[in-house]
Every structure is written in structure tokens, then in C-alpha cells.
């Protein structure tokens, strides 16, 4: 699998992205006139004994990503954001269709839409390309 970063979008070289087993959900926006980011983006990634959640929040700047343990509770995923982070506390995630609903402490809520990681042949070089 080949990943490339162009225009702040991650693209996988395989359209279905099945070898990577990544699921990315986002409600992350850039406010052009203020030059600020706001929102949340998460990726559910395979890990040694199951899955982890890669957390990336913003407001007004992109915060450092966190790799978090996931606790599965029926139809809900639960993670704990450590103290010292603006989003600290317990977060619950529920998937309905292509939307991952996130509910955190202090009434924080996000509707994270699934991002399709598609192949873009102009972005992803193939072996032997002279780019």
C-alpha cells in the first residue's frame, strides 16, 4: 500500500483500502478568514491485539495526535482522553451508516463523516514511475 499526503488529505493507493483496514471519520474544518482549524478527526486503526483510535482535534490550531486504547461496549466504542488535553475525559463513539457520532464530557458532540480513502493516480506514484 502507498500513502501520500497532498492538500492535507491522506490517500491510499488501494480504492477499498482493505489491506490497511483503516476507517477515517472527520468533522475537521479550516476557517479561511481566521486561518484556524476547528473540529475533530479520528481513525480506527488495526493494532497488535485489536484496534486503536488515532485522535486529532483542533481549535484554533491542530493539536498533537493521540493514539488511544479502545474499549468496546456493545455498539459503542469508548476512549479516554488524558488529563492536560482540552478534550480530556471519556468519549463514546457510535457508528450509524457512514457517520460516527462522538459524545464527550461537558456536552461536546461531533458528527464525524466517513472519509473515503480513494486512489488518486496523480497523487500516488507507482513503482517505476519517474516522478
7-113: CATH topology is Lipocalin (2.40.128)
Radius of gyration over alpha carbons of the chain, in Å?
16
- The CA-atom distances, in angstroms, between 66 and each of 48, 61, 97 are 17, 15, 25
pTM: 0.73
How many CB atoms are located within 10 Å of the residue 25 CB?
24
- What whole-number distance in Å separates Cα of residue 115 and Cα of residue 48? 24
Band (pLDDT 50/70/90 cuts) for residue 119 is: low
The residue with greater pLDDT, 21 or 40, is 40
pLDDT tens string 9-37: 444 443 344 446 789 999 999 999 999 99
For the segment 99-115, the average pLDDT, to the nearest whole number, is 96
Amino acid at each position: 500500500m502507498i500513502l501520500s499526503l497532498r492538500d492535507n488529505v491522506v490517500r491510499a493507493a488501494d480504492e477499498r483500502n482493505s489491506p490497511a483496514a483503516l476507517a477515517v471519520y472527520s468533522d475537521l474544518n479550516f476557517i479561511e478568514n481566521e486561518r484556524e482549524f476547528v473540529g475533530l478527526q479520528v481513525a480506527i486503526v488495526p493494532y497488535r491485539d485489536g484496534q486503536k483510535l488515532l485522535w486529532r482535534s483542533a481549535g484554533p490550531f491542530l493539536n498533537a495526535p493521540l493514539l488511544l486504547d479502545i474499549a468496546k461496549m456493545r455498539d459503542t466504542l469508548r476512549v479516554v482522553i488524558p488529563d492536560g488535553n482540552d478534550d480530556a475525559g471519556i468519549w463514546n463513539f457510535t457508528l450509524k451508516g457512514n457517520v460516527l457520532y462522538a459524545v464527550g464530557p461537558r456536552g461536546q458532540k461531533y458528527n464525524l463523516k466517513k472519509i473515503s480513502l480513494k486512489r488518486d493516480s496523480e497523487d500516488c506514484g507507482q513503482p517505476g514511475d519517474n516522478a
